Structure 1
Amino acid sequence: MTVPVFRFAPSSNGALHLGHAYSAMLNHRLAREAGGRFLLRIEDIDTSRCSPELEQAIYRDLEWLGIEWELPVRRQSDHFEDYRAALDRLEDAGLVYPSFMTRGEVRAFIAEAAAEGKPWPRDPDGAPLFPSIDRERAPSERKRLAAEGLPFAWRLDMESACTALGHGVDWDEEGAGPCGETGRVRADPRAWGDVVLARKETPTSYHLAVTVDDALQGITHVVRGRDLFFATAVHRLLQELMGLPVPRYYHHALMLGADGRKLSKSEGDTGIAALRKAGATPADIARMVGLDNPL
């Protein structure tokens, strides 16, 4: 019998807020209810924003909340070779390509199309899809640009990847999507276009790292915010392309501020540590996130 394995995977680029507390406490509770394991993973691929100090603050907040996790903690920055190996597999299969266009060049290209009255497709998060220019470059031109030292990102050739797979992908959703999607959900990876899998300054992307990590750690249940519901399509595609196991998914509701906006580190929303200093107790936090009922 397979032992259920849950995980909480925060980024060490800011203080944990109530949204993180809800996700961590929910994962911890579900793992205990299922008689399973609970793992902690630090997602610190953005080494320019993440820091050891913020990582230690995550540990303090979780310990204060009464959450226990297995050791050792997987820190993504210690495992770049795992992501490189996965990228190499996709490159060997001819499913990735180097993209040399800068963000400014992409914005200018899309602005020009808009000026000509051509609506530009956007991904589920609202970002414009990447143009096809780099994908259509001749191999000789790619070699020349790389030899000249021009920085590039590795992108998944989405159409080639979906064609190579030869079948659609779906997943078991035990929570619900933004429009109430639940049960067996049909994925639409093409909606994301040619997603980035690695950059020069960051040798992996969230999509690639989370897919590899969940497989290597034996995660059986991915419980995370509803804002990542549609991104699951990309993760399912990568799992199929690399022959990785498929976890069950549970996308939970997001914690919102008084203005209806999703809580965010970048917006400076009140963190767990600040609430603790203001006199809140772990029981208060459980009540605030709606998990005050005991097991």
Structure 2
Amino acid sequence: MREPFEQSAAKEPSLFLISSWMKDIEGLTAGFTGREGGVSAAPWTGLNCGLHVGDANEDVIRNRQLLVQALGWSFEAWTCAEQVHGNRVVQVTHADRGKGNDSRQNAVAEADALMTNEEDVLLTSFYADCVPLYFVDPVKKAVALAHAGWKGTVQEIARMTVEAMAVAYGSDPADIHGAIGPSIGGCCYEVDETVLKRVEPLLEALNVEAAAQAEIIVPTTGGKATINLKEINRQIMIKAGILPTNIEITSWCTGCRTDLFFSHRMEQGKTGRMVSWIGIGRGAAQA
């Protein structure tokens, strides 16, 4: 299977691009950062873009600037939210452009999904194992990002985002393209009964076939199991009306590849954060 998140040849900063989308949709940029090429010191060594993990603010801001420079965008376009593992979707306008780019205090409050149909707004979101979800409607020229840990997943943030795009922009789910980015895989993500009691009813509600459920939830020991959050989110996207052929899903696992990505679970919480981004710009350099 073709890997949709293609690793950029440039190592500083390390980028994983949704190249097929960028080729097909004029002005679109979309992708995910790796951990290499930044200025942060240990234990956030490299391209840490999270202001909430104890790293020096000036280093985080510099790392963010390195990313936008590599994309040919302006730092003023960087827009992000203070994530809370919920399913709230916020519409971003040009008046919100730049929120959260250099401070948590002025970020979009309490939101795990952002959407916009305005040019020159770069939506961003932060990760260290959770699942980054991307949405683009090439007909209505609208884009969105959603942050899906297990809590956001069982609250169906993917469906909430599709429905919000339909209400705000008139998007037809059949026109929307979705992508599921680098995150911890079923190979590395073991959970307990607390999580399983939320995941199992969701799969039933989504009408996921028993054989597929058996691949998504694999029992281990002591009432625990590994779960495949990426596939659960793909199923939610399909249920929300996105065509299966319009969904890209990565094979990258942040738990397996700590040489490339930060992993909260594998690094015992002492690590940095990657960034997902998406935006449609007017030209090569956005002012």
TM-score, structure 1 length as denominator? Answer: 0.33
TM-score, structure 2 length as denominator? Answer: 0.33
Identify, as 1 or 2, the structure richer in helix. 1
